[in-house]
Amino acid sequence: MPLATPPEGIEIVCRWEGWHKALPDGRAKPYKCPAGVWTIGYGSTYWDDGRRIQPSDDAITKEVGKQLLLRQLQTYANAVDRAVKVPIHPQMRAALISLAYNIGTAAIAKSTLIRRVNARDWAACPAAFKMWRNGGGRVLTGLLNRRIDEAALFMRGVAKLGEVATVSPASIKSAAPPLDAGPSWWQQIIQGILNGLGRPSPA
């Protein structure tokens, strides 16, 4: 039986996808996302029958949106489970499912991130998450911050897995520092690892 999406995965998707274009009665209507794709509810781009979301589609309630999300997340959870060949913690799986929901099943399967995961190269995974920060041909701050959040969740799972990685200078240098992203993204990842270990941050 396919494994369901962990609660952390549902929470992070809902938080970053948001509930956009809400009407006065709380229902959400279709909208075009920053990448130019028609979307509804919590980031759904198609209906259960496979039809793509269209601007003329009816608005939906939050309950319908949540159920649509839960059913569709299973597709992305299955894709992650097929791609990952090594044991991972549920928090790591949740982060990967969130990314897959955002970039698609084919992209996650062929991604550098999955290769890093299957090689157990945990220290290189935060930078591999950050590769998926573009939308519409440009860096989007929202996507960048989502990748930081997903990577931090992933690394907390690594700490609990018992295969704690040290984020090396080489891993940090593998990607240019983000623009307008607030605190250093790699410092947030390191803090995520320390939080998972129950240790205070370094002075």
- Burial classification of residue 36, based on how many CB atoms lie within 10 Å of its CB (0-12 exposed, 13-18 middle, 19 or more buried): exposed
Query: Is 160 within a domain?
Result: yes
Query: Is 193 within a domain?
Result: yes
Query: Is 11 within a domain?
Result: yes
Task: Tell me the per-residue pLDDT of 166-175, one tens digit each, with 9 for 90 and over.
Answer: 433 333 333 3
Query: Is 50 within a domain?
Result: yes
Print the domain residue range for 103: 7-197
- Burial classification of residue 109, based on how many CB atoms lie within 10 Å of its CB (0-12 exposed, 13-18 middle, 19 or more buried): middle
Query: Is 202 within a domain?
Result: no
Tell me the CATH number at 101. 1.10.530.40
Across 108-125, average pLDDT: 96
pTM for the whole structure: 0.76
Q: Which residues pair with 31 in a beta bridge?
A: 39
Query: Is 48 within a domain?
Result: yes
State the Cα torsion 15-137-72-91 to the nearest 10°: -50
Q: How confident is the model at residue 181 (pLDDT cuts 50, 70, 90)?
A: very low
Domains identified in the chain, total number? 1
Query: Is 2 within a domain?
Result: no
Task: Tell me the per-residue pLDDT of 54-100, one tens digit each, with 9 for 90 and over.
Answer: 999 999 999 999 999 999 999 999 999 999 999 999 999 999 999 99
Query: Is 42 within a domain?
Result: yes
Instruction: Measure the CA–CA gap between 7 and 13, rounded to whole angstroms.
Output: 10
